Structure formats: structure tokens, C-alpha cells
């Protein structure tokens, strides 16, 4: 009994540490990717949307090149923590270096910081199955999302209270430090079982396209996986692009101050925190597919509302209605789509498929910002019309996912083989 209680305590500590990492990385994502670095480039230094957009595109392109190989390598070794530790520390170093050497050097440091952050998510997501069971995976995932949004709340709170004293560059430094601090328990307390998956062959590092083909062939052999990934590309396209340009849009199109922006985002985060456990219950009760359908309905309302405010010269205060809905919808996506994929793929290759999952999402993070720049600057139609183009992506995603069940046919008893 004593050993059983000790095992339960250790498992709870590991889950708590995994959840806490979500808090750590969302501090980075909120402060650097969504708010302060974008505003520093566009509003403070007089740059354009395209300057910030292209930096993100380069970072995501690097992720696309490396994600499947890294996911497969972590499967073969049977360990995720060493990879996660390295990417986190590297992200922290580059984040704390932002502002050194001027605009161009900072854009380069941002590319590396964002690349390390995004790559680390492959290994972080892959830890979830080893810490949970099928019956509580949605619930535990929702805890990560909810606590993660507390990280965004911390980031917003620091900006509201101490931005005048810290300035943009000070916000970069404190963000890096907090990321590392809250990530440490994950590295210390999670004890992975060494369960190597499919054999990793060194020539795949050189033959990247062979690795892509191998993973894609596996995906085609499992019902619904390819269609899910294509659908995910479209809704991730809209969601990620909106996150990148939220600060720029609110301050420039709606005419609100930095302080008002962060207060609005704080309110949205609170709604996300309150909504995440509800989404987790829905995932475990009605399944991730039906849950994600509801989330996409909400995104349609949000994007349409945000676009029409400046298009029809409506009061900017209406953003207080749509922004909280976006927080609820954002939490719903993260609660639903990871369990969705896990239900579809074999357990011995989860890391590799999360590499492909990451690849698809990051490809969307390339297409979305380029679409934004093309519509708003290239065609000269402005940012509100760019928002409407994101709405179209949500509708396409919903249409694609209608044919993907989260209760696939019985998988083969033997694991899906690793294809050379």
C-alpha cells in the first residue's frame, strides 16, 4: 500500500510538472510572439507587418525542415526530456538577447528563439501519453491548457504593472527568466520509461524527404489521419495568424493603447482559464471531434466580429465582447486537437506523428502570415479584410473535418512498422 501511495504521489508530481511547463511556455508565447516583440518592431521601430511576418515564416520553415526527424529520433531513443531541456534553454538564451545589436540582429535572435520554442512543443506534446491514460487524457490536457493560460495572465500582469519601468527590452529579459524558472520542475521530476519505438536510421537525417515520405505513408495507412492533419492546417492557419497580429491589429486598427490591449488580453485569458476545464470534460464525454466542431463555430463568430468593427466604424469597445470569446475558443482548440490525434495514431509512433502534427501546424504558420501580408499590404485591402480571409480558413477546416471520426476502426494488433 505504501509503495502504491508513493507511486501515485510520484505520478501526480510528474503530471503537475508537465502542466507547469505549459505555464512556462505560454509566458514566452504571450509576451514575445503575440505582444511585445511585434509591437516593438511595428509600433516602436516603425517596421511593417511584413518584417515581423517574414521573421516568423523563417522560424516556421526551419521547424518544417527538422520536426519529423526530431520526432522520430525521440521515438527511437524513447526519451523526450533531454530534447525538451535543450530547446528550452536555447530559447531562453535567445529571448534574453533580444534588443542587443539593433533591429536586424534582434529579428535573427527572434527567429532562433521562436524555432527552439516551437520545436520543444514536439517533445512536450509527446510526453502526455506516458503520463496519462486514455480515460483521463483530455482532462489532464485541459489542465495544461488552463494552467498555461495562467502563464499568459502572468505575462499580461507584468506588462500592465511594470512595463513603464521595464520597457520592451526589459520585458524580453524577464520573459526568458520566467520561462526557465517554471520549466525546471518538468526537467527535474518527470522520470521517463525508456521504451524505444521504431528504429531510427542515421541516413534519414540526410534524406529528409525520405523521412517525410515514410511518415506520410504511415499516415495514409490509418483512417482519418491525413484528413485530420489537412483540416488542422486550415484552422491552425487562422488561429496562429490572429495570435501573431493581435497586438498590431488592436493598437492600429481599433486605436487602443498598449495598456488597453493588455487589459483586454487579460480578460480573454481569464475566460480561457475558466473554459479549459469545461472543454476537457467535453473531450472526455462527447469526444474531441464534436468538441472541436463547437470550437470552430465560436471562431467564426470571433473573426467576423473582429473584422466588422473597423469595416463598419463600430465602437471599439465591442472588442470586449469578441476577445473573451477568442480566449474560450483558443483553449478549446488545445484541449481537443491533441487528444484527437492521439486517438487516431498507434501509441508506439506518437512522437513521430506529433512531429508531423507540428509540421502541419507550422506550415500553416507560414501560409497564414504570408496570406495576411498579401491581403493587407500586397493587395492593399487592409488588416480587416485580412481577418476575413482567416474566417475563410476556418470554414474550410470545418468542411474537411466533417469526414474524420474520432472513433476509428480497430487498429492492427502489431504496431505500425517503421518504413525505410
State the pLDDT at residue 251.
Answer: 93
Please, is 309 exposed, middle or buried when counting C-beta atoms within 10 Å of its C-beta (0-12, 13-18, 19+)?
buried
Q: Give residue 287's Cα distance to chain centre.
A: 21
Homologous superfamily (CATH) for 7-190+213-401: MFS general substrate transporter like domains (1.20.1250.20)
Domain ranges of the chain: 7-190+213-401
Q: Describe the chain by its helix, strand, coil percentages, rounded to 5.
A: 85, 0, 15
Distance CA 191, CA 163 (A): 38
Instruction: Fill in the DSSP letter of residue 198.
Output: S
pLDDT, residue 215, reads 67
Residue in 276, 314, 283 with CA at minimum distance from that of residue 136 = 283
Splitting the chain (420 residues) into consecutive groups of 10 residues, what average pLDDT does each group show? Answer: 55 84 91 93 90 92 79 73 92 94 89 94 80 70 74 90 90 96 90 59 53 68 81 90 92 92 89 84 88 94 95 93 91 85 76 72 83 94 95 94 70 35
> Which pLDDT does position 195 carry in this prediction?
54
**d(C-alpha 366, C-alpha 235), whole Å:** 13
Q: 181 is written with which cell numbers? A: 524558472
Cell 521547424 sits at which residue?
A: 63
Q: What number of residues does the chain have?
A: 420
Cell numbers placing 81: 526530456
Residue among 209, 225, 327 at smallest CA distance from 279: 327
What is the rounded distance in angstroms from the CA atom of residue 372 to the CA atom of residue 383?
A: 8
How distant is the alpha carbon of residue 392 from its chain centre?
20
Residues 6+ away with beta carbon under 8 Å from 328: 271, 272, 275, 298
- Residue 209 has a pLDDT of 56
Sign of the CA dihedral with 281 first, then 286, 289, and 292 last = negative
Res 284: pLDDT: 84
Amino acid at each position: 500500500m505504501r509503495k502504491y501511495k508513493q507511486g501515485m504521489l510520484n505520478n501526480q508530481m510528474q503530471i503537475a510538472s508537465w502542466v507547469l511547463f505549459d505555464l512556462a511556455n505560454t509566458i514566452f508565447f504571450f509576451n514575445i510572439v503575440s505582444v511585445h516583440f511585434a509591437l516593438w518592431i511595428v509600433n516602436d521601430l516603425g517596421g511593417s507587418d511584413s518584417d515581423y511576418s517574414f521573421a516568423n515564416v523563417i522560424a516556421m520553415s526551419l521547424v518544417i525542415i527538422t520536426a519529423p526527424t526530431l520526432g522520430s529520433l525521440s521515438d527511437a531513443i524513447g526519451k523526450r526530456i533531454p530534447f525538451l531541456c535543450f530547446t528550452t534553454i536555447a530559447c531562453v538564451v535567445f529571448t534574453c538577447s533580444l534588443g542587443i545589436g539593433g533591429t536586424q540582429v534582434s529579428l535573427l535572435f527572434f527567429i532562433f528563439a521562436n524555432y527552439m520554442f516551437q520545436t520543444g512543443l514536439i517533445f512536450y506534446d509527446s510526453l502526455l501519453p506516458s503520463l496519462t491514460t486514455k480515460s483521463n487524457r483530455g482532462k489532464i490536457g485541459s489542465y495544461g491548457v488552463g494552467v498555461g493560460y495562467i502563464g499568459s495572465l502572468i505575462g499580461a500582469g507584468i506588462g500592465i504593472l511594470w512595463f513603464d519601468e521595464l520597457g520592451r527590452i526589459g520585458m524580453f529579459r524577464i520573459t526568458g527568466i520566467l520561462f526557465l524558472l517554471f520549466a525546471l520542475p518538468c526537467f527535474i521530476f518527470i522520470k521517463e520509461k525508456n521504451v524505444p519505438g521504431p528504429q531510427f536510421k542515421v541516413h534519414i537525417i540526410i534524406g529528409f524527404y525520405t523521412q517525410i515520405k515514410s511518415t506520410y505513408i504511415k499516415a495514409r495507412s490509418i483512417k482519418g489521419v491525413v484528413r485530420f492533419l489537412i483540416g488542422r492546417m486550415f484552422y491552425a492557419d487562422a488561429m496562429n495568424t490572429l495570435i501573431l497580429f493581435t497586438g498590431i491589429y488592436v493598437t492600429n486598427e481599433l486605436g487602443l493603447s498598449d495598456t488597453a490591449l493588455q487589459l483586454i488580453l487579460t480578460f480573454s485569458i481569464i475566460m480561457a482559464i475558466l473554459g479549459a476545464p469545461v472543454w476537457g470534460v467535453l473531450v472526455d464525454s462527447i469526444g474531441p471531434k464534436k468538441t472541436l466542431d463547437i470550437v470552430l463555430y465560436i471562431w467564426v463568430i470571433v473573426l467576423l466580429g473582429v473584422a466588422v468593427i473597423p469595416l463598419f466604424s463600430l465602437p471599439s469597445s465591442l472588442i470586449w465582447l469578441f476577445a473573451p470569446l477568442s480566449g474560450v475558443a483558443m483553449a478549446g482548440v488545445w484541449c481537443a486537437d491533441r487528444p484527437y490525434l492521439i486517438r487516431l495514431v498507434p501509441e508506439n509512433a506518437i512522437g513521430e506523428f506529433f512531429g508531423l502534427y507540428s509540421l502541419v501546424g507550422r506550415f500553416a504558420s507560414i501560409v497564414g502570415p504570408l496570406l495576411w501580408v498579401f491581403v493587407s499590404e500586397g493587395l492593399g485591402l487592409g488588416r480587416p479584410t485580412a481577418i476575413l480571409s482567416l474566417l475563410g480558413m476556418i470554414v474550410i477546416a470545418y468542411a474537411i473535418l466533417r469526414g474524420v471520426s474520432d472513433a476509428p476502426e480497430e487498429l492492427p494488433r502489431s504496431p505500425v512498422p517503421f518504413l525505410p
